[in-house]
Structure 1
Amino acid sequence: MEIYKIINNLLEAVSFNDFIKSKEEHYWIIAEPDEILNHNDFFRFHKSTVAECTNAKQHPRLEVYDDVSFGVINIINHIENWFEAKEINFYITHNYLIFVTRGKNKLIEQIKNEIKENFKDSSNYNINESKILYMLLDRLTSMDNIILKKIESSIASLEEQVISGVNQDFTVEIIKLRKQLLYLKRYYEPLIDISEDLEENENGLIDEGAIRYFTILINRIQRLNHNVINLRDYVTQVREAYQAQVDIKLNKTMKFYTVITTIFLPLTLIAGWYGMNFTYMPELDWIYGYPFVMGLSLTVVAVCLYYFKRHNYL
Structure 2
Amino acid sequence: MKTVRPHKSRTVGLSPGTLKENKNPENNSVVTVMSYNATSLEERTISSLDELHKYKSADAVSWINIDGTEDSESLKKIGEIFNLHPLLLEDISTAEQRPKMDEFDEQLFTILNMLSFNSEKNCITVEQVGIVLGSNYVLSFQEAGGDVFDPNRNRIRNNKGKHRKYSADYLFYTLIDTIVDNYFIILEKIGERLEDIEDSLISEPTNDILNDLYKIKRELILLRKSIWPLREVLMKFEREEYELITDSTQTYFKDVYDHTVQIIDTLESFRDLSGGMLDLYMSSISNRMNAVMKVLTVISTIFIPLSFLAGIYGMNFDYIPELKWKYGYFGFLASCLTILIAMLFYFRKKKWL
Find out whether 1:111 has 2:157 as its counterpart.
Answer: no
- Greater fraction helix: 1
Provide the secondary structure at the position in 1 that maps to 2:238. Answer: helix
Match of 1:54 in 2: 93
Identity of aligned residues (%): 22
Contact 1:283 1:289 (C-alpha < 8 Å) held by counterparts: no
Find out whether 1:241 has 2:280 as its counterpart.
Answer: yes
Contact 1:62 1:72 (C-alpha < 8 Å) held by counterparts: yes
Q: Which amino acid aligns with 1:87?
A: Q
Question: Structure 2: how far apart are the matches of 1:256 and 1:300?
Answer: 18
Contact 1:6 1:127 (C-alpha < 8 Å) held by counterparts: no
Match of 1:31 in 2: 66
Provide the secondary structure at the position in 2 that maps to 1:49. Answer: helix
Match of 1:79 in 2: 118
Find out whether 1:205 has 2:244 as its counterpart.
Answer: yes
Question: Structure 2: how far apart are the matches of 1:139 and 1:243?
Answer: 39
Aligned length: 309
Bigger mean CA offset, 130-139 vs 292-301: 292-301
- 2:52 paired residue among 7, 16, 27: 16
Question: Structure 1: how far apart are the matches of 2:154 and 2:247?
Answer: 25
Question: Structure 2: how far apart are the matches of 1:106 and 1:51?
Answer: 22
Shift of 1:295: 4.6
Find out whether 1:283 has 2:324 as its counterpart.
Answer: no
Q: Which amino acid aligns with 2:124?
A: F
RMSD: 3.5
Contact 2:115 2:183 (C-alpha < 8 Å) held by counterparts: no
- 1:135 paired residue among 174, 190, 200: 174
- 1:96 paired residue among 126, 130, 137: 137
**CA-to-partner distance for each residue in 1:95-136, whole Å, 9 max, x for gaps?**
53321235654444542342242259x6x9842221111110
Unpaired stretches in structure 1, ≥5 consecutive residues: none
Unpaired stretches in structure 2, ≥5 consecutive residues: 1-30, 45-50
Question: Structure 2: how far apart are the matches of 1:305 and 1:198?
Answer: 74
Provide the secondary structure at the position in 2 that maps to 1:269. Answer: helix
Contact 1:67 1:203 (C-alpha < 8 Å) held by counterparts: no
**CA-to-partner distance for each residue in 1:124-178, whole Å, 9 max, x for gaps?**
9842221111110111133544543443333233323334x24754222323333
Match of 1:171 in 2: 210
**Cα distance change, pair 256–148 in 1 and its aligned pair in 2 (3 A):** same
**Cα distance change, pair 127–41 in 1 and its aligned pair in 2 (3 A):** same
Q: Which amino acid aligns with 1:157?
A: D
State the TM-score, normalized to the length of structure 2. 0.72
Match of 1:309 in 2: 348
Provide the secondary structure at the position in 2 that maps to 1:118. Answer: coil
Shift of 1:262: 1.0
Asked which structure has the greater CA Rg, the reply is 1
Match of 2:6 in 1: none
Q: Which amino acid aligns with 2:228?
A: E
Question: Structure 1: how far apart are the matches of 2:151 and 2:53?
Answer: 26
Q: Which amino acid aligns with 2:287?
A: I
Provide the secondary structure at the position in 1 that maps to 2:158. Answer: helix
Q: Which amino acid aligns with 2:54?
A: D
Shift of 1:210: 1.3
Q: Which amino acid aligns with 2:218?
A: K
Match of 2:289 in 1: 250
Provide the secondary structure at the position in 1 that maps to 2:289. Answer: helix
Question: Structure 2: how far apart are the matches of 1:92 and 1:251?
Answer: 63
State the TM-score, normalized to the length of structure 1. 0.79
- 1:266 paired residue among 301, 305, 309: 305
Provide the secondary structure at the position in 2 that maps to 1:142. Answer: helix
